[in-house]
């Protein structure tokens, strides 16, 4: 049996924590960013590149005429693009939120369904019993579990491009962290940091490489050796950071937990087996058949029905557990749509291409090292506006490729700067739908995550600059 854990909280500290939660609500932060994006459509020149499909044609940027009068402040946005631009007014800003919700509907529904599914698993007692058994097998040694899990998760990302597939794993890892006396943010970090490390290096990750490398005339997956080296460096730093944070938190609480070694009930064993096989098939199917959000959601619904039938809860109780699980992440799911609204405003105000043009123009050609550093920071900033990895590659690679040729930066190093900048920002930016989905399933708010991850964010920036310097110096 587990001894009860007593935590003595000072009333003053408790009141301060409550105030912090009220003032740092992530929806307030996102609405502030949305308002800022709206204001920028009045301040920043509108412009556009000519495009061939999704791809930008280098050197084709041109400024568009724009009406910034008071009338534009309250005018409804035009549904048809034309030769002139218009800023996004108050009506357009409000309309961007339902547009963002509609644009992100697939991801939002998927997150809600996963929450409902783990509501069923939790109500049946299967999650708690399964974690108890696993932790008893390793005697609760988190210093073995965490590195092992991070290696597995990061390998799936860096070699196969897995990301949204891990949404199914996060509630389990969070429950494991809670069971070992750690807070939910530590369970979230085990998965999130590992996934981001995988994407930073993208050793053979097909999602960015099949877009970025051909745009620079490179064979797909070329330069794999240096990216593998990068993966090992970032993975070592990420694991070290996690072990340090675990030690720091364990020293604060000094928790000692005994784990039950009792066997699982047959029903619980069957449910965990179905969940494990379901995850394995999901990884195969999403990679083999390129499943999108709709197909993934349908798969999760089918898995929910199967698990509900095996749970022994009965139809009504299973439905109640499903709804209860969805309720816990409803608000966080809504945030995904608000974050998407930011990109809607930037696109409707036609200032996104202007920002891309100014960022890339600032790189210059004052030597390969400076140019590579400039590429990295331009990608770092650009990811706040274009959190999609494939979308950022389609926009930035045709522009950065010629800059790299002029300044002596090789194609693979240009891709490296893109991978580093894109993924490091995605660890933190509140406009990333995938990050918000992770936060939603873990039930962690963005401000708490930002405070936690900021030191590692800075460490990864330093590591990236060092690796880029090595890449340029060695002619990678």
pLDDT per position as a tens digit, 331-357: 777 888 888 898 899 889 999 889 888
Average pLDDT score over the chain: 84
The band of 144, judged by pLDDT with boundaries at 50, 70 and 90, is confident
Domain for residue 254, yes or no? yes
Range in 248-262, 269-283, 375-389 the model is least confident about: 248-262
Greater model confidence, 308 or 339: 308
Q: What is the pLDDT of residue 82?
A: 58
pLDDT in tens, 405-446: 888 899 999 999 999 999 999 999 888 888 988 998 898 989
Greater model confidence, 135 or 360: 360
Q: What are phi and psi of 474, to 5 degrees?
A: -90, 0
Pairing of strands 55-56, 62-63: unpaired
Domain for residue 161, yes or no? yes
Between CA 315 and CA 320 the distance in angstroms is 9
Helix (H), strand (E) at residue 77: none
Parent domain of 357: 140-258+329-473
Has residue 79 got a pLDDT over 70?
no
Domain for residue 183, yes or no? yes
Range in 54-63, 206-215, 337-346 the model is least confident about: 54-63
Domain for residue 66, yes or no? no
Has residue 404 got a pLDDT over 60?
yes
Greater model confidence, 163 or 11: 163
Has residue 77 got a pLDDT over 80?
no
Q: Looking at residues 19-28, what average pLDDT do you find?
A: 59
Q: What is the pLDDT of residue 4?
A: 40
Has residue 257 got a pLDDT over 70?
no
Going from the C-alpha of 53 to that of each of 39, 50, 394, the distances in angstroms are 29, 9, 10
Greater model confidence, 233 or 67: 233
Q: In the block, which residue shows the tokens 């069957």?
A: 270
Domain count within the chain? 1
Q: What is the pLDDT of residue 17?
A: 46
Between CA 392 and CA 211 the distance in angstroms is 10
Pairing of strands 55-56, 51-52: antiparallel
Q: What is the pLDDT of residue 365?
A: 64
Domain for residue 273, yes or no? no
Domain for residue 27, yes or no? no
Domain for residue 32, yes or no? no
Collapsing DSSP to helix, strand or coil, 366 comes out as coil
Domain for residue 239, yes or no? yes
The band of 97, judged by pLDDT with boundaries at 50, 70 and 90, is very high
Q: Supply the DSSP symbol for 452.
A: H
Q: What are phi and psi of 32, to 5 degrees?
A: -65, -40
The band of 83, judged by pLDDT with boundaries at 50, 70 and 90, is low
């Amino acid at each position: 049996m587990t001894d009860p854990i007593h935590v003595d909280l000072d009333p003053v500290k408790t009141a301060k924590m409550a105030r912090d939660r009220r003032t740092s609500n992530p929806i307030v932060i996102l609405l502030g960013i949305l308002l800022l994006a709206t204001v920028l459509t009045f301040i920043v020149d509108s412009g556009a590149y000519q495009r061939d499909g999704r791809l930008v044609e280098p050197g084709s940027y041109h400024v568009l005429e724009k009406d910034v009068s008071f009338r534009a402040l309250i005018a409804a946005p035009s549904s048809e693009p034309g030769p002139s631009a218009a800023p996004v007014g108050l009506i357009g800003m409000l309309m961007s939120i339902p547009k963002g919700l509609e644009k992100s509907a697939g991801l939002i529904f998927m997150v809600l369904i996963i929450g409902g599914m783990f509501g069923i698993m939790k109500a049946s007692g299967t999650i708690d019993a399964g974690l108890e058994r696993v932790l008893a097998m390793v005697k609760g040694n988190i210093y073995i579990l965490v590195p092992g899990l991070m290696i597995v998760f990061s390998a799936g990302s860096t070699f196969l491009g897995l990301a949204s597939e891990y949404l199914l794993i996060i509630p389990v890892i969070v429950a494991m962290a809670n069971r070992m006396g750690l807070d939910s943010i530590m369970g979230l970090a085990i998965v999130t940091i590992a996934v981001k490390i995988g994407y930073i290096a993208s050793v053979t990750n097909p999602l960015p490489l099949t877009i970025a490398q051909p745009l620079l005339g490179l064979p797909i997956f070329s330069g794999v050796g240096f990216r593998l080296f990068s993966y090992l460096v970032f993975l070592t730093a990420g694991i070290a950071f996690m072990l340090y944070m675990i030690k720091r938190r364990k020293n604060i609480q000094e928790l000692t937990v005994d784990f039950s070694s009792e066997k699982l009930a047959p029903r619980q064993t069957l449910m965990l087996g179905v969940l494990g096989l379901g995850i394995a098939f999901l990884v195969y199917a999403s990679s083999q058949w390129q499943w999108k959000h709709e197909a993934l959601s349908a798969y999760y619904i089918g898995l929910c029905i199967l698990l509900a039938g095996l749970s022994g809860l009965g139809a009504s109780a299973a439905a109640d557990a499903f709804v209860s699980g969805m309720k816990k992440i409803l608000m966080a799911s809504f945030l995904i749509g608000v974050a998407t609204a930011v990109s809607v405003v930037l696109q409707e105000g036609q200032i996104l291409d202007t920002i891309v043009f100014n960022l890339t123009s600032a790189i210059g050609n004052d030597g390969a090292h400076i140019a590579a550093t400039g590429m990295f920071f331009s990608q770092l900033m650009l990811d706040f506006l274009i959190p999609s990895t494939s979308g950022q590659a389609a926009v930035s690679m045709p522009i950065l490729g010629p800059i790299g040729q002029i300044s002596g930066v090789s194609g693979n190093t240009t891709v490296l700067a893109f991978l580093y900048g894109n993924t490091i920002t995605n660890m933190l930016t509140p406009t990333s739908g995938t990050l918000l989905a992770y936060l939603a399933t873990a039930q962690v708010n963005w401000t708490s995550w930002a405070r936690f991850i900021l030191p590692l964010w800075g460490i990864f920036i330093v590591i990236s600059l060092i690796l880029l310097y090595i890449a340029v110096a060695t002619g990678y």
